[in-house]
Chains A and B, each alone.
Chain A
Amino acid sequence: MGIEQKTGNLGVVTTTLQNVVNWSRTNSMWPMLFGLACCAIEMMGAQASNYDMSRFGMELMRPSPRQSDLMIVAGRVSRKMAPVLRQLYDQMPDPKWVIAMGDCASCSGIFNNYAVVQGVDEIVPVDVYIAGCPPRPEGLIHGIITLHEKVKQENLKKWK
C-alpha cells in the first residue's frame, strides 16, 4: 500500500528527491551579470520585455558571484581578463554552471590572435556553447533551456 491511498485527495504528490532538487535548481537559476562585449547587448535584450527570460525563472541577474549559480560568458575574453574570469568563477558557490555565449567565448570567433583566449573552456569548464555572432536572444534562451535539460538529468550521487 503506497502513500497515495493513505492520503486520499489531500493534494500530496510523491516523487524522488533527485527530481525535486533538480527541478528547483532549474527554475531558480540566477545568472551573473557579466557582459564582456557585444553579446552582452543581446543578453540584455533577452531579459527585457520583448523576450523576457524571467518566464523561465531567471529574472534576477546578480552583480555578485556569491549570489549566482550561472555564469554567462557574453563576449571575447582577453588574456588580461582571463584571471579575473577564473576568480569570479571560483567565487561562485556550488552548484554552478557556465554558458559560453557566442563564437568568441566558445572558440574566440574571428579573433585568432595573441591577445584573446581561444575559447573560454581553457579557463572554466563550460556546460553549454551557444553559436552565433552574436546569438539572438532566442539563441540564448534556447541555450539556457538546453542547460535546464542537462541539469534535470544530473545524478544524485554527483551533486555538489
Chain B
Amino acid sequence: MIDIIVTVCVLISLIFSILGVIGLFRFPDFYTRIHAAGLVGSFGLLFMGAAVLIYAAGLLLSGDEAWLNYGAHVLLALLVAVITGTTSTHAIARSAYRSGNAPIAKNDALKEDIQSMKRREEKRR
C-alpha cells in the first residue's frame, strides 16, 4: 500500500519537473522562464520530499529504527531548499532587470520607477 503511494508521489514530482523543463523551451523571455523553473522548485521538490516522508512513515509502522534519520533530514532539506530557492529566484530576477534585460511585457511598472529608485539608493550609501 505504502509502496503505491510513494510511487504516485514520485510520478507527480516527475511530471511537474518535466513540464517545467518543457516550459523553459516554450516560454518567450527570461522572466517567464523563471516561472517555468518555479514548477520544478515547488511541486517537483515538495512531492519528492513527501515521497521520502511517507516512506519513512512506512518504516515507522514496520518498526524500523531508520525512520527518524530519513524524516528529520528530509524535513530540514525541504526547509533549506524552499528558503534558498526563493531567495535565488528573486536575486536572479533582480540582477537581470538591473543589468538591462528588458522583459516582453504588456505593462512594465518598474520601467518608470527604476531610475529614481537607483538614485535614492546612491544617496543613502
Are A and B bound to each other? Answer: no
User: Residues of A at under 8 Å CB distance from B?
Assistant: none
